[in-house]
């Protein structure tokens, strides 16, 4: 005998269907976001591998240059990938040396190696990649004081703290710089020792100063 569903039963069926659909959509979204994060981390691992190879050939130094106003100081911070990009790309540390005139192919080559696959805007604005690059030696760290002195140094792979951040994909600070990541609330970091992992930028953006979030949230230093 055919049985008709009551309104209550229908409501239960619809509610369960909506719940199942919500769970499936949420799971699919999480999987997509995880895949995006993984692609960015793969880019950072390749950069890290190139940096490690460069360091082996250069007395364990990462790609860096001295300040013009003080030759003893090394301090580069921000979307300044020129020093790193030039030394890694055009000396073959990504496995192949680019062919052609430097001034004609430099930007094209950087886009191959320094762009997060899910970055829709930052690399276009920066002109050289999706990532921020941070190197500082002991002289500059001590002179600036705000860096926490020697514990913030990050140019010598075998001497400086391997957990200190070297390249990261978002600059979560107020002002004219970008506050959002291609990965939602998460950002990815390449450490000086070659490890790649992620952190949540929300608490970092609330830090009292730029140097506090670099130290506490990116380097794991208790300030």
Is 81 or 73 the better-scoring residue by pLDDT?
Answer: 73
- Domain boundaries defined on the chain: 7-218
Burial 67-106 (b: 16+ CB within 10 A, else e): eeeeeebbbbeebbbbbbbbbbbeeebbeeebeeeeeeeb
Structure confidence at residue 195 (pLDDT) = 93
Check pLDDT > 70 for residue 78. Answer: yes
Check pLDDT > 60 for residue 124. Answer: yes
DSSP for residue 213: I
DSSP for residue 217: I
Structure confidence at residue 21 (pLDDT) = 64
Structure confidence at residue 149 (pLDDT) = 67
* Lowest mean pLDDT across 11-25, 115-129, 131-145: 11-25
CA atoms within a 13 Å half-sphere pointing along the CA-CB vector of 139: 8
Residues 146, 203: contact at Cβ < 8 Å? Answer: no
Which residue's structure tokens are 């979307």? 79
Nearest to 187 by CA among 202, 177, 176: 202
Q: How confident is the model at residue 192 (pLDDT cuts 50, 70, 90)?
A: very high
Nearest-10 crossing angle of helices 7-57, 102-113:
130
- pTM attached to this predicted model: 0.77
Strand order in the sheet with 196-200: 75-78, 132-136, 165-168, 186-191, 196-200
Q: What is the pLDDT of residues 30-75, one digit of tens each?
A: 555 566 668 889 999 999 999 999 999 999 999 987 777 777 888 8
């Amino acid at each position: 005998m055919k049985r008709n569903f009551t309104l209550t039963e229908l409501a239960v069926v619809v509610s369960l269907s909506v719940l199942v659909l919500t769970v499936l959509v949420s799971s699919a979204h999480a999987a997509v976001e995880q895949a995006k994060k993984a692609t960015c981390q793969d880019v950072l691992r390749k950069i890290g591998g190139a940096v490690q190879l460069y360091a082996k050939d250069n007395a364990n130094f990462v790609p860096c240059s001295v300040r013009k106003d003080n030759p003893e100081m090394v301090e580069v911070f921000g979307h300044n990938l020129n020093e790193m990009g030039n030394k890694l790309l055009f000396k073959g540390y990504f496995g192949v040396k680019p062919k052609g005139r430097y001034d004609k192919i430099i930007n094209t080559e950087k886009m191959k190696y320094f762009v997060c696959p899910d970055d829709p805007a930052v690399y276009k604005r920066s002109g050289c990649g999706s990532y921020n690059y941070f190197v500082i030696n002991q002289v500059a760290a001590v002179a600036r004081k705000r860096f926490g002195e020697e514990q913030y140094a990050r140019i010598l792979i075998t001497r400086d703290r391997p957990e200190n951040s070297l390249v990261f994909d978002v600059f979560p600070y107020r002002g004219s710089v970008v506050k959002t990541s291609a990965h939602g609330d998460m950002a990815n970091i390449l450490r000086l020792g070659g490890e790649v992992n992620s952190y949540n930028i929300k608490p970092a953006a609330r830090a009292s100063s730029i140097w506090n979030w670099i130290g506490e949230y990116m380097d794991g230093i208790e300030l």
